[in-house]
C-alpha cells in the first residue's frame, strides 16, 4: 500500500530525513565531499617522487685511463723491438756477414760479440785428418780465440763458414776440426784463450778467400781474408 507524497516536505515512511544519507552510504562531513586519499595505482601522486639518478662519469674516466695506458705500453713495446733489432742489446758486436762487411786479415785480431779471433795461417789439399776422410779436400786454418766477456761461450757447429772468390760457401767439419785440435774446448771460458784448427770441406781445385767467424748461431759474424 502506498501513500501520497507529503505536501509539507516530510519524508515518506522508510526514507531518511531530508539532508541525511541513505542507509549504507558513507557519511562525509565538511560539505559532503570525500576526504583526499591515495592516488590510484600507477598514477602520479605529486608527493614523495625522487628525481632520476644522475649518470656517473667515473666509468667513462676509468675506461679512458685504461685505453691511454694500453697505448703507452704498445708504443714502448714497439720502440723496444726496434731498439733490439738495430743491435741495441749487443753493443760489443761490430761487423756483419760476408756481404759488404769489414774484413780482417791474417794475424789481425777481429771481434764478434764476446769472442776475439786471430786467424794465423791456412792450408788446403788435405784428403784426411787422422781417420776422418774428406769428400774432396780439407782446408785447415789455425785460429786463436779469446773470450773477452763475463760468461762462457759454447763452441758450435754453425759458427764458421768459408767462401771462395765466386761466393761459394763451404761448410765447417766439426769432427775433423775436433780431431785436428789438441785439447779442443767445448766452450770458451771468460778471459780464456784457446787455439783451434778450423777445418772446412772444400771442392777439389777451389781455395777459400775468406772465412766467416761467429760467437753464436745466428750472429752476424766477422770475416777474415785468408788469401
Domain map (residue ranges) of the chain: 103-225
The β-bridge partners of 144 are: 118, 195
Residue 83 has pLDDT above 60, yes or no: no
**What pLDDT is attached to residue 69?**
72
CATH architecture of 103-225: Sandwich (2.60)
Average pLDDT over residues 39-63: 55
Mean pLDDT lowest for which of 14-18, 101-105, 184-188? 14-18
101-107: long-range contacts, CB 8 A cutoff, minimum separation 24: 101/220, 101/222, 101/223, 102/222, 103/210, 103/223, 103/224, 103/225, 104/222, 104/223, 104/224, 104/225, 105/224, 105/225, 106/224, 106/225, 106/226
Contact 102, 209 (CB under 8 A): no
Give residue 94's region: left, alpha or beta (phi > 0; psi -120 to 50). Answer: alpha
Q: pLDDT of 91-144, one tens digit each?
A: 333 444 444 465 899 999 999 989 999 999 999 999 999 999 999 999 999 999
Residue 57 has pLDDT above 50, yes or no: yes
Residue 192 has pLDDT above 80, yes or no: yes
Q: How many percent of the chain have pLDDT more than 90?
A: 44
What is the DSSP-derived secondary structure letter of residue 45? -
The β-bridge partners of 161 are: 171, 212
Amino acid at each position: 500500500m502506498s501513500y501520497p507524497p507529503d505536501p509539507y516536505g516530510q519524508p515518506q515512511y522508510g526514507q531518511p530525513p531530508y539532508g541525511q544519507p541513505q542507509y549504507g552510504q558513507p557519511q562525509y562531513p565538511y560539505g559532503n565531499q570525500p576526504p583526499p586519499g591515495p592516488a590510484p595505482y600507477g598514477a602520479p601522486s605529486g608527493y614523495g617522487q625522487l628525481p632520476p639518478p644522475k649518470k656517473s662519469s667515473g666509468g667513462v674516466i676509468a675506461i679512458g685511463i685504461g685505453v691511454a695506458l694500453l697505448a703507452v705500453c704498445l708504443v714502448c713495446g714497439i720502440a723496444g723491438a726496434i731498439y733490439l733489432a738495430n743491435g741495441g742489446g749487443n753493443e760489443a758486436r761490430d761487423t756483419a756477414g760476408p756481404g759488404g762487411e769489414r774484413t780482417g786479415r791474417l794475424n789481425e785480431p777481429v771481434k764478434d760479440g764476446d769472442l776475439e779471433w786471430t786467424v794465423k795461417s791456412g792450408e788446403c789439399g788435405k784428403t784426411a785428418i787422422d781417420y776422418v776422410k774428406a769428400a774432396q779436400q780439407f782446408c785447415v786454418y789455425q785460429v786463436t780465440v779469446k773470450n773477452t766477456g763475463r760468461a762462457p761461450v759454447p763452441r758450435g757447429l754453425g759458427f764458421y763458414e768459408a767462401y771462395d772468390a765466386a761466393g761459394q760457401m763451404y761448410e765447417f767439419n766439426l769432427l775433423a776440426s775436433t780431431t785436428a785440435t789438441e785439447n779442443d774446448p767445448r766452450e770458451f771460458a771468460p778471459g780464456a784463450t784457446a787455439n783451434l784448427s778450423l777445418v772446412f770441406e772444400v771442392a777439389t781445385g777451389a781455395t777459400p778467400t775468406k772465412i766467416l767467424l761467429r760467437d753464436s748461431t745466428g750472429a752476424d759474424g766477422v770475416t777474415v781474408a785468408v788469401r
